[in-house]
Structures are given as C-alpha cells and as structure tokens.
Amino acid sequence: MLKPDADWVRTIDDRSTRRIGKLLSADASHFVSAARSHWCSELFSVGIKVLQTLEALHKFSTTNSLSMFCQSMPLRHIFEVAKFLLDFKFLLCNNHDRGTLQNFVQLSTIYFVDVFPLDCRKSLTENMIHLRRTELSRTLLEEVVHGNIKGKLTYGQIGRVVMMWLWSGKPTEELYKKIEDRFKDNSSWKALVQNLSGKIMPESSEESPSSISDEAPSAISLICKFHKALEDAYNANWRKEDDYISPSCFLYLLDRLLILAFNVQGFFVTTKSSTVEWLIYQQWMANPADSSANGFQSSLAAVYDFVVSIIRQFLSNRQDIEEWIKKSKINFENYYPLLVTRLLLGRDNITSQLPKELCGVLQRMRKGNGFKMNANVLAEAFKRIGDPLVIVSLRINCANFFCPDAILVDMGVTQCREDIIRVLFPRNTRAPPGKTASAEGDMSNSCKKGISLNGEDGSNVPNCDIF
C-alpha cells in the first residue's frame, strides 16, 4: 500500500501488516475486508448525498408546481437508489442507517399520488404514459401495494390495491398470493382479484367449487365480480370506517367498470384520460373485444343502473359528498369542481361548479327544461377542458362515423398499442388552412381508415338524455 496513513488502512489489524521502507503490506484476507468496508462506507455516504439531492429536486418540483413528470422522476430515482443500498449484500448498515434508507423508500411512495392525481388531466402526457410502463414504475407501485396489505384490512387499502393493479397490470404471482390472502375476509373483493388474476371461479352451482382454472378473465364474469365488489364498498357504513375508500379512488374504479361494460358491447365513447387507463388494462386483459354481449344484457343493465344511481347520489346529496371528501383528507373546494366535471351533469346547481369553457358549450345543448346531448357539441366541450372525447370501435363498423373534435380509434384496423398512443398523442396537431385542428393529425394510414361519426355534418348522431 503506497499510502499507509490512509484512514481505511487503520482498520487493518497491525499483527497482519508489515513494513518495507515506505510501503505497507497486509495479508490478502485482511486487505480485502478493509477495502470492502471502506468502499461500502463511501458508497453509503455518496448514496445518501444523492438521495438528499433527489429529495431537494422533488421539493423544488412540487413547490414550483412543475409537471407530474418532473415531480415523479426524482421519486422513482429515490426508490431505485434506496432499494439498491438496502439490498446490497456487502453494505452492512446499522439500525440508524437502515432506518434512514427506509424513510427514503417511504418518501418515494408519494409516487402513487403523482400517478393518480385528483385532476387526471395532469398526468395526461405522453412521457407520463411511457414512464408508467417501465419496470421500475411497476416495482415502485408493488412497494406501495405491500404497504397497503399490512395491518387491519380497510376499504381504503382495498381500493388503492385494486386501483394500482388495474394501473400497472397483473402483479407477480408472489404478490398476488399475498393480496388474495389479505382479501380473504371480504369475499366480494377476493372474488374480484381472483378473476383479475385469471383464477376463474365457476359461475354455475353445478360445478365443483374447487374447480378453479388459470384462464384469462372472462369479460362478463369480470364485470359481474367488479360490480358486486363496488356495491359492497359503496353500501358499507363509511362514517364508521377509519380508512374508507376515497371518492377519487371509487370513481376511478367505477370508470373502469363502465368501460368494461361498454367494451363487451364492442363500442364506447369516453375521455382521453379514461382511454389511457383502458389501454394499460389491455396489456394483460386477453381479447376482451371478442366477448359477446348476447345473453348478458341483464348483467350489463344492472351495471348501468348502478352507475346512474351513484351519479345521481353524488350530485343530489352535496352534504354527504362533502363529508366523504373531507374524511378522505381531500380539499373539498379544489376537488368538488373536478368531481362535477368528471360526472358532467346539466343541472343549474351543478353547472355552476364547471369550468366556464365547458359551461358555454353545454348551454348550447339545452332545449327548454330538458337537456339533450349532441356528440359533436359534447366533443367540443371535452376538448376545451383538455380531456378530449375518444370514440373507440372494437367490432362495430365505423366507416360512416365523423366527429371532428373527437379522437377516433378503430381497433379493427389499429391493434398495436404504439399506434394507438400515436393517435392519442399526435406529433403534429397544426391544421392546414381552412381545416379544424384535431387529434387525428398524425395517425398512420391504418389508423385513419374507416373512422368517422355518423354523417359528414354530424346530423345523424343520435341524441341521448343526460341523467
């Protein structure tokens, strides 16, 4: 050793060293042990400085209200660095150091709030979509799931776990078994996660209860299980629950149920934010578009009735909703207008909570004391508030459809996920002179083929009542 006075050399037992002039030598085993201890100490010291810097970047991004992407990136790297140090087998941390790293891991779980913002439009960017599809994002979300399956099981935990499951796709078998075991005290939600995982329970009483098959979830079976689970949560006495499912989480799951129901029928209209969630779900939901709705109309009707009932209760009983929102530790004044916008009903006492851009468009749909919906006008309304309408055709021929302010996706000709993302997030949205800018601007030819909406002037678009 050329620098025998270095601090790390002093940890070597003098009995195992010998000097030859200015050089110091030591037994190989003692040298390796001392060098490893030194570099582990350096690694930990530098790692903590990196984590502190990332924490400062996260605070800066949130304080200055930067994009969700800018707020999320430091958290992902905090998780990555902290987990690496915790799992590094040569790094022998004392309890204090390990606790410090665990605190950083806990800090990184705020990522859940960033990817599920109360205003879903904040995460509606292409870079956020690509970010959430990374393996690191999945691993971080699994960490959040682990934190939500500890202690007494609550509806809040159940909602967050299922929300993250649908967000990131099917979990590992090991994590699934832990979730199933924790959900054992709630039969409705346990049946749902079994179905989501492909552990298909027999629908007929004539089949053996033990005959569980590892198949892709049947769309109708999944809808029924999902419906029953949400009914179970909604009918619980939330005032007595310490950690009840939040309104934002409940609406997210309700939205997923509704999209599933429309999915079975082969055609649906929704917002861009909901389409992105559906697209992520498509990664592991096996061929949902091939499921036939024949013979299941009563099940679908029950789902629609349930959704309509929930919407009516949400908007006719403001006092209870306000109490529920506040109990969930959500700012009522900030969130309630977002909730109303998402439900989008045309009542005088409700439209006062809507953005001005949206109200102006919706007023054009009023007819006397009624409220009729025109698809073109509705598409314009959603486009103005930054969450465009999306029309998805799974099996129905959409060759005659036309709606200039909507994003149109024909799954019959566009089944590649990357193509759909390009449709949702076009590179060039500048319209030629005399043309209306639309989100279809950068579609490939295969995406453009056969997507329009009932007549060139939109006059054939059917009207429907708003509840």
Distance CA 166, CA 173 (A): 15
238 and 301: one domain? yes
Residues 143-190: pLDDT tens digits? 999 988 888 889 999 999 999 888 877 788 889 999 999 998 899 999
**Residue at 356 is within a domain:** no
Give the domain-ending residue among 278, 299, 324. Answer: 324
- Please report the pLDDT score of residue 3 as a whole number: 58
What is the percent of the chain with per-residue pLDDT over 70, rounded to a whole number? 68
Of 46-55, 131-140, 178-187, give the range with the top mean pLDDT: 46-55
Query: Do 188 and 94 fall within a single domain?
Result: no
Asked whether residue 189 falls in the same domain as residue 95, the answer is: no
Question: Whole-model pTM?
Answer: 0.77
**Residue 325 pLDDT:** 93
Q: Are 168 and 266 in the same domain?
A: yes
Residue 135 lies in a domain: no
Please report which helix (H) or strand (E) contains residue 409, including its range: strand 407-410
Give per-residue pLDDT as tens, 309-336: 998 888 788 899 999 999 999 999 889 8
The rounded mean pLDDT for the chain is: 76
Classify residue 238: in a domain, yes or no: yes
Assess whether 154 and 274 both reside in one domain: yes
331, 361, 380 from 355: Cα distances, Å = 18, 10, 13
Instruction: Flag whether 90 is in a domain.
Output: yes
Average pLDDT over residues 222-228: 92
Q: Is 420 a domain residue?
A: no
Total number of domains constituting the chain: 2
**Which residue segment(s) compose the domain that 254 sits in?**
148-204+211-324
Last residue of a domain, one of 96, 115, 134: 115
Q: How confident is the model at residue 210 (pLDDT cuts 50, 70, 90)?
A: very low
Angle between helices 173-182 and 187-196 (to 10 degrees): 170
Tokens at 172, concatenated:
């590992």
Phi, then psi, of 51 in degrees rounded to 5: -65, -40
Q: Is residue 348 in a domain?
A: no
pLDDT of 249 over the 60 cut: yes
The more confident residue out of 386 and 429 is: 386
Tens digit of each residue's pLDDT (9 = 90 or more) over 267-306? 788 889 888 888 776 654 544 444 444 556 778 888 989 9
Find where tokens 């149920």 sit: 257
Q: CB pairs under 8 A, 24+ apart, for 304-308?
A: 304/261, 306/227, 306/230, 306/231, 307/254, 307/257, 307/258, 308/467
User: Cα separations (Å) of 330 from 61, 140, 322, 387?
Assistant: 21, 23, 10, 22
Q: Which residues are within 8 A (CB) of 237 and not within 5 positions of it... i.e. 6 or more apart? A: none
156 found inside a domain:
yes
182 belongs to a structural domain: yes
Q: Which helix (H) or strand (E) holds 155?
A: helix 155-168
Are residues 70 and 192 part of one domain?
no
Is residue 299 located within the same domain as residue 179? Answer: yes
pLDDT digits (tens, 9 = 90+) for 83-116: 999 988 777 778 888 999 999 999 999 998 888 8
Co-location of 101 and 159 in the same domain: no
Which CB contacts under 8 angstroms, 24+ apart, belong to 212-221?
216/285, 216/286, 216/287, 217/285, 217/286, 218/291, 219/260, 219/263, 219/264, 219/285, 219/288, 219/291, 220/264, 220/291, 220/296, 220/299, 221/195
Note the pLDDT of residue 206. Answer: 38
Same domain, 75 and 173: no
Q: Identify whether residues 44 and 181 lie together within a single domain.
A: no
Query: Do residues 67 and 74 lie in contact, with contact meaning Cβ atoms separated by under 8 Å?
Result: no
Question: In this structure, what token pair is assigned to residue 197?
Answer: 């995982």
Task: Find the mean pLDDT for residues 251-276.
Answer: 85
Look at residues 115, 133, 161 and tell me which one is the last residue of a structural domain: 115
Six token digits for residue 291: 């499921």
Question: Same domain for 256 and 173?
Answer: yes
